[in-house]
Amino acid sequence: MLVFAKARLVFLSVPKTGTTAWEKALGPVADIVVNDPPELKHAPVFRYNRFFRPMLEKFVSDEMDVMAVIREPVSWLGSWYRYRRRPFMAGRPNNTYDVSFDEFVAAYCRGDRPGFANVGSQAKFVEPAGNGTRVTRFFRYDDQAGLHRFLEERLERGITLTRENVSPDMPLVLSPETEDRLRRKRAAEFALYDSI
């Protein structure tokens, strides 16, 4: 998570949406950078509301823009799948070495997900808090040019972005049946993406 006091902007770090690259580019000019632990770096709206919003309202402004990047759901799951196949995941119980992408997505659709498919939810991450705290600006992951333009204008500076934390490329095959099930079981993920 990044906070820019003068710009009155909070950039939430939705996992697997390229936020590590943005953090590297913007960290030196951010007023608050939350890199660790992951539970705070990737603070969803409810956690931002509980722990960060009160502090920012008191010391910065009660009119903060909260932004988040959302990735197309199949692409987002593909990034998680590839990430969990990286060499450092060998021997860990949540790696995806022995499952296909189709099996990974099918497991993600289950109510009781196995560890390798327990990757959360973008829709849940940005779900508004009970007091109305919410994301005020959404960007699609595949509109990096629009996101870049917005941040340069809002922060009044040029931004050089590098690729960071990139999962290895590999073919990802999803059967029509599994994709249909994903769209039914996780409809909120697609509705969120389609609303942006």
pLDDT in tens, 13-42: 999 999 999 999 999 999 999 998 989 999
Neighbours of 117 (CB within 10 A): 21
Mean pLDDT of 172-194: 97
Whole-prediction pTM = 0.94
Q: What is the CATH number of the domain that holds 189?
A: 3.40.50.300
Half-sphere exposure (CA, 13 Å, Cβ side) for 32?
21
**Dist. CA 78–CA 189, nearest whole Å:** 14
pLDDT in tens, 50-109: 999 999 999 999 999 999 999 999 999 999 999 999 888 888 889 999 999 999 999 999
**Dist. CA 112–CA 45, nearest whole Å:** 24
| Percent with pLDDT over 70 in the chain | 100
**Dist. CA 182–CA 57, nearest whole Å:** 39
Cis ω on the peptide bond leading into residue 168 (within 30° of 0)?
Answer: no
| Percent with pLDDT over 90 in the chain | 88
State which residues form the domain around 169: 2-195
Q: What pLDDT shows up at residue 176?
A: 97
Q: What pLDDT shows up at residue 69?
A: 98
Number of folded domains that form the chain: 1
